[in-house]
Structure 1
């Protein structure tokens, strides 16, 4: 009897395995030869499974792989069974522009927390997103950002003091000509961006620049976002309702839970305090904001959820661009000298570095920041969208409904069709001259999309630009910096042996999953400007 039971169990197992095998063969043949996207080229594994892109998110090189795929297969690449990645300016604007028959992909559901509340980042429904976006945008208008400027500058001043300190514990070296100890600017860009975002949003901060006790938060965010990048490529692990997504990168799950508690601290601390007269933060502005169409604001739970996500989105993305600015300035002496001269002759003092005519007149400063955003976009992979019923024409191709489409931002902004010598750091490409007429710059501008465009453009773009411009100007006005001596000076560069797409020593190495991350370097030394 026991033998018969064992044989029956074996037969059931063999039958299940056979059914699974037949199903896999069937789905593979369908996806390769009969799927609506079967005629689009792409990596074989990508045509068969979304785990291909999930892997490249896991190893943080999805932006490089998308670029490589375009080099091999052309502007239209099948990057998943139901996904196309498109590397053209026309394609980008057909996907992300206004009034397109396209919605946000359900890949963004990876950002949903335990409560599964929709946010401006995750809302798939256009009406829900529109209502939230109209309110959130009021916290980041140019006028609102000017109101946050004293807080931004205060944090930058703290950073400058720290950069000039010998080791973070002692005061600045007595000799003004002394160079500081080497400092990893990816880390300090993270600390500054996080302190600014929490201070601007909640008027509460953990003082990461000065206090190492809470610097674990930045590693926590990176681990959390890495997991989100992987899960966003396999969102069906969430839809099946089996909780499979929680088994993907458990360290990222733990990081999410830990950060969730920290975000609650910021929210509760803000709700308890009364701001000094005349000071406003994003929380206060959004609390008072009303949707112009409905006359309604955001309920408090929604507001707190939005601001918590904004901390992550704002700090994690701006920091990579800021680290890139330090890298490219320190590795391009002629650019450094030209920008330092512009800043130091335009502003008589650090206190005069504010939004206004002087800052707007710094043409080279804006060119440097734009070029760094091109080289180090805050999101370097493809923000995915889905084609709705009726289909959508994208750069001359009729794309069927249900197809997920996107443009790799790193790839588009390194496309030689729009940017000559795309891997060369060249701020002059943004300045009109006889050899570089306005028509050339217009072609580049159409493909320059670090903050996306259309209804889904980054709501906090004005704040991000203020942080990048003022930080760069204030640091250059206050001090000089150089690449650290010895092997540490090479940290952040590409080199042979780092992998495909990471061989260029002149390129700052980025790590991409859901957002762009600068993990290491540049390692720099600083000294006061009055040094000989």
Structure 2
């Protein structure tokens, strides 16, 4: 039955399989090490994760990643399954994500957040009355997409600005893009699909591509074309005067073995598509989860606001650095939100290489596909006493509360929102900086509450098993976590002096 559920396409709700259904199956599999396919084994254990995704693990990315490509010509860091090729591409990509670049980009991230708050407060500036209800995830999509535009291409797409803008469709087009290609990766006929891709299948898929998917492809093509024109125009001016965004570093990279450009134009377009998807929807999923749980946990909400107000006088004082990153409860809320809703809910499959791999005292021969699923890891009863509960305190060492360093260290061995090892997210430091800035500035500038009566994002008794909890933010797996909500109301937070005067 499990094999049937995992192998058979189900396009109900427009996805290959429902996150609430399949992770329930994956969870059962992970608990009992059941085989879902003849050559696939998934685990739910921190030691298994370390064995599979470690720096020296005898594995490579599976052909799942080849299936995820739009066409077989696309070569990116994501779909490079040869370990040596992946290491070379990752080395180049890492140049875009240094500590220096994280500090540099945090300035314009803050500017985007400040402008977003300004737009919200232009619509509703009261400190006493609540605003009308808003689906926060839609607002977050626009904000994060603008940030990614600045980060990747040196220009904001102005999605968060009021008024019509055809690019406001792009975040949803990205979801449709993944829903279109993701089923191919999960198909039991993946090997045949990969064989057929250069033999006419890529062309056929291009012809039947749904309009929203084609719009996303066109958007990437147009964005890269414009950025390449700027890059070529600036080739003869001093380097310090050029626009040095991530795309600049990709264009400027050289293959050390040939001393030629590291990327072809097709590969630049493919990497740009990857960066947009990886940098926008994954961050939005984390932010949506954090706010969804916070507005349903008033005690946690108040503790966090209190910590932020004791650390920063106003939202304008919040800047990326040790002061912000040292906010213990803020980091705990962020980690807890990402635990309950991982940016990518299902496994990153790895193929065992010649010589085999030992996992939990069992030997798996070459060709076996192994992995751990973050969605399952987040609900591991052997690691978390109450895995379905939003409890940030589990991440904070507190002798009075009985939370020791050893206890926190243990749960951290099971927490990998950005994966680990050679396949870890290159931009995780920028993503974390963005999330810290967003949560801190928002809660210092705005008061938030769940829209009274709203159930958006909740489960319900009428839904399938695994989707019924009203206390768990529901997501759908499309390689990324697809989500809806939270619905919130906001009002301007009074400055501390105003609060004292009002009291």
Q: Normalising to structure 2: TM-score of the pair?
A: 0.88
Larger radius of gyration: 1
Match of 1:468 among 435, 444, 451: 435
Which position in structure 2 is the counterpart of 1:124?
Answer: 81
Secondary structure, counterpart of 1:451 in structure 2: coil
Which position in structure 2 is the counterpart of 1:286?
Answer: 250
Compute the displacement of 1:98 (Å). Answer: 1.1
2:197 is equivalent to residue 239 of structure 1: no
Which position in structure 1 is the counterpart of 2:178?
Answer: 225
Secondary structure, counterpart of 1:526 in structure 2: strand
Distance in 2 between the 1:472 and 1:71 partners?
Answer: 34
Q: Is the 8 A contact 2:68 2:181 kept in 1?
A: yes
Q: Is the 8 A contact 1:53 1:233 kept in 2?
A: no
Distance in 1 between the 2:361 and 2:257 partners?
Answer: 35
Q: Is the 8 A contact 2:154 2:243 kept in 1?
A: no
Which position in structure 2 is the counterpart of 1:163?
Answer: 120
Match of 2:152 among 194, 198, 201: 201
Distance in 2 between the 1:83 and 1:55 partners?
Answer: 24
Compute the displacement of 1:179 (Å). Answer: 2.0
Compute the displacement of 1:56 (Å). Answer: 10
Instruction: Please tell me the root mean square deviation across aligned C-alpha atoms, in Å.
Output: 2.7
Compute the displacement of 1:433 (Å). Answer: 1.6
2:479 is equivalent to residue 528 of structure 1: no
Which position in structure 1 is the counterpart of 2:412?
Answer: 445
Q: Is the 8 A contact 1:63 1:380 kept in 2?
A: no
Compute the displacement of 1:364 (Å). Answer: 0.5
Which position in structure 2 is the counterpart of 1:394?
Answer: 359
**Stretches of structure 1 lacking an aligned partner (at least 5 in a row):** 1-41, 167-171
Match of 1:352 among 314, 317, 326: 317
Compute the displacement of 1:478 (Å). Answer: 0.7
2:220 is equivalent to residue 263 of structure 1: yes
Match of 1:457 among 403, 424, 436: 424
Match of 1:490 among 455, 480, 487: 455
Distance in 2 between the 1:483 and 1:251 partners?
Answer: 41
Q: Is the 8 A contact 1:204 1:269 kept in 2?
A: no
Distance in 1 between the 2:365 and 2:14 partners?
Answer: 26
Compute the displacement of 1:160 (Å). Answer: 1.4
Which position in structure 1 is the counterpart of 2:306?
Answer: 341
Distance in 2 between the 1:336 and 1:196 partners?
Answer: 26
Which position in structure 2 is the counterpart of 1:30?
Answer: none
Q: Is the 8 A contact 2:68 2:182 kept in 1?
A: no
Distance in 1 between the 2:202 and 2:268 partners?
Answer: 26
Which position in structure 2 is the counterpart of 1:177?
Answer: 128
Rate the CA distance shift 1:209–1:88 in 2: closer, same or farther, 3 A.
Answer: same
273-282 vs 184-193, which deviates more?
A: 273-282
Which position in structure 1 is the counterpart of 2:55?
Answer: 98
Which position in structure 2 is the counterpart of 1:425?
Answer: 390
Ranked by relative contact order (alpha carbons within 8 Å, sequence separation 6 or more), the top structure is 2
Compute the displacement of 1:143 (Å). Answer: 1.4
